[in-house]
Amino acid sequence: MTNDQTTTAPPKARGRRHAERGRQATPAARLAVAALIDQPPRRDRLLEYLHRLQDARGAITADALAALAEVMRLPLAEVYEVATFYAHLDVITDPAAVPPRLTVRVCDSVSCALAGAEALYSELRGALPPGVRVLRASCMGRCDAAPVVEVGRRHVTRADVPRIAAMLDGPAPAPVPGPRPEPLTTEDYRVLRRCLSGGLSREDATARVEDSGLRGLGGAGFPAARKWQFVRRELGPRYLAVNADEGEPGTFKDRHYLEAAPRTFLEGVLIAAWVIDAEAVYIYLRDEYPHLHEALRRELALLDGLRLRLPPIELRRGAGAYICGEESAMLESLEGKRGLPRHRPPYPAQVGLFGRPTLIHNVETLYWLPAILDRSAEAFRAGGRRGRHGLRTFSVSGRVKDPGVKLAPAGISVRELIEEFCGGMQDGHTFVAYLPGGASGGILPATLGDEPLDFGTLEQHGAFIGSAAIVVLSQQDSVREVAVNLMKFFAHESCGQCSPCRLGTEKAVPLMEESRWDRAALEDLARVLQDASICGLGQAAANPILSVLRHFPGAVS
């Protein structure tokens, strides 16, 4: 070949174009999906869009998933992994499969288990008509009225088979409507107006909250004012994320405050947002509370009538994942991802939602802010027992005559709480044990029933108060069976990200179901869960094991 010669590539073969790989959506599916979501779509609202698809069709089909991925310009695998992560999303990949006409979920968490949930589940599976699917489900936040069953989107408390069967004679029951808000008055948001008008500075508000001793009341108990200071020192934009996804078995106090005083809660939200100069607010509310979604949407619609400069508030809907009560997993879910906890540091106060400094509070913490700023730190700290100050909200369920949300002096003992606020034990039941902090807080014997219920008082006994979810057990309950129930809950709710939690909780269940526990094996497993799990779910999953081995050795030997 000489230098002036050139070569050319052979022409491409003419023929049929290769079909695109992967599952392709039909034009009709693309149009249907586009009509249900925002235009242009927002990546962080993927979970919201999946809810809309399911609400419209009763389930999420493979065609709808493919269409959603195309419309949002996301990989189908990314959309699929989010859709299949959450318990309340039903993904059907078989085109021939028919979605269930109705889904009935039976809560099998500890308070409902004590009230006969397992027998109810078995009866319902044999009593309900074809096309009705019966599933076990985790805590629904109505532990004071156990057993609880969700029929479609409506909760049935103190449920039995005849009541549920009667509900299925007609169309699927609609959710209970939320309360309609009263018109705004001059008293509403009075403390917020004072803050925004300069009557109270951010520094004064922070100092007053610090003096009050207000702590995060979702479980960790971190001082609220210190959180504000950490977030304020970071460069903006900053965000406020509200954790209203109380999924701890035995906990229902946030539901109580949202039902009783949604406006007070929202005032606390806006005060906290003002203190940190938040760019926007995101409220992550659990899917098990549809009536509260409606109530808060109505209240939010009234905020325009205040004619104040307020940050935008987005109300987001969880999807039945307990792990999203962990703050960093909640942030991931708010960003439209699977609720997988993040490694820390950095902490959310530095790198939180969308990579920006983020203040995270639970419902009850925010609920108390207007009262603290309206009165004084001393008034908030009034009362208390055994050297503690102020009042504490307890969710009480189990074998007491009058379960429910109890506002009692901080430092009260469980024995006093039962006798003074719950009407004593149910007839025929004797107090023998209690859970001081829901599934995560361990199990303590009645011999420790005079210990003060507060932060830092129960750790010496291998327990903690957490969200103050008190479940009372009697001589008619098996502590071993309660511990197994708790471990099954942790195994079901593990996000699967880390092997110690994913495999450890799963391996623990059959070991704990043995009539005689292998102490060495379970202690070794508990140590791995505590030391190697990424987040608090796996770390706390060891508590049922260690509590029984420490305080109730006779129950498993």
Domain membership flag for residue 440: yes
The reported pLDDT for the residue numbered 22 is 65
**The one-letter amino acid at 224:** A
Say what angle helices 543-551 and 499-513 make with each other, to 10 degrees: 40
With helix as H, strand as E and coil as C, how does 474-530 read? Answer: ECCCCHHHHHHHHHHHHHHHCCCCCHHHHHHHHHHHHHHHCCCCCHHHHHHHHHHHH
Domain membership flag for residue 270: yes
pLDDT digits (tens, 9 = 90+) for 193-226: 999 999 999 999 999 999 999 999 988 889 999 9
Residues 240 and 291 in one domain: yes
DSSP track, 324-352: GGSHHHHHHHHTTS--PPPPSSSPTTTS-
**Count of C-beta atoms within a 10 Å radius of residue 187:** 7
Residues 550 and 422 in one domain: no
**Count of C-beta atoms within a 10 Å radius of residue 318:** 26
Give the model's confidence band at 7: pLDDT under 50 very low, under 70 low, under 90 confident, else very high: very low
Q: Judge whether 348 and 331 are in contact, CB under 8 Å.
A: yes
Residues 42 and 71 in one domain: yes
Report how many domains make up the chain.
Answer: 5
Distance CA 196, CA 309 (A): 9
Burial class (CB within 10 angstroms; exposed 0-12, middle 13-18, buried 19+) of 197: exposed
pLDDT digits (tens, 9 = 90+) for 276-323: 999 999 999 999 999 999 999 999 999 988 989 999 999 999 999 999
Strand 60-61 to 91-92 pairing:
parallel
Residues 446 and 318 in one domain: no
The reported pLDDT for the residue numbered 1 is 43
Residues 47 and 142 in one domain: no
End-to-end CA distance of the chain: 90
Say what angle helices 262-276 and 290-302 make with each other, to 10 degrees: 60
Give the model's confidence band at 4: pLDDT under 50 very low, under 70 low, under 90 confident, else very high: very low
Of 474, 505, 539, which residue is a domain's last? 474
Domain membership flag for residue 97: no
Of 474, 492, 513, which residue is a domain's last? 474
* Bridge partners for 491 per DSSP: none
Position with higher pLDDT, 518 vs 93: 518
Say what angle helices 62-72 and 46-57 make with each other, to 10 degrees: 150
pLDDT digits (tens, 9 = 90+) for 123-170: 999 999 888 999 999 999 999 999 999 998 999 999 999 999 988 876
* CATH number of the CATH domain containing 161: 3.40.30.10
Q: Residue 391: which of 418, 419, 371, 361 has the closest Cα?
A: 371
What's the CA angle centered on 143, arms 329 and 140, to 5 degrees? 40
Residues 220 and 269 in one domain: yes
Residues 206 and 355 in one domain: yes
* CATH number of the CATH domain containing 532: 1.20.1440.230
Spell out a b/e string for 420-440, using b for 16 or more CB atoms within 10 Å of the CB, else e.
ebbeebbeebebbbbbbbbbb
Q: What is the CA radius of gyration of the chain?
A: 26
Distance CA 491, CA 298 (A): 37
Residues 339 and 288 in one domain: yes
Q: Residue 258: which of 300, 301, 302, 296 has the closest Cα?
A: 296
Distance CA 492, CA 503 (A): 11
* Bridge partners for 474 per DSSP: 431
Q: What percent of the chain has pLDDT over 70?
A: 95
Examine the pLDDT at 6 and tell me if it is beyond 60.
no
When pLDDT is averaged across residues 334-344 and rounded to a whole number, the result is 97
The reported pLDDT for the residue numbered 45 is 98
Residues 6+ apart with CB under 8 A from 18: none
3-state secondary structure of 275: helix
Domain that holds residue 406: 391-474
Distance CA 450, CA 468 (A): 16
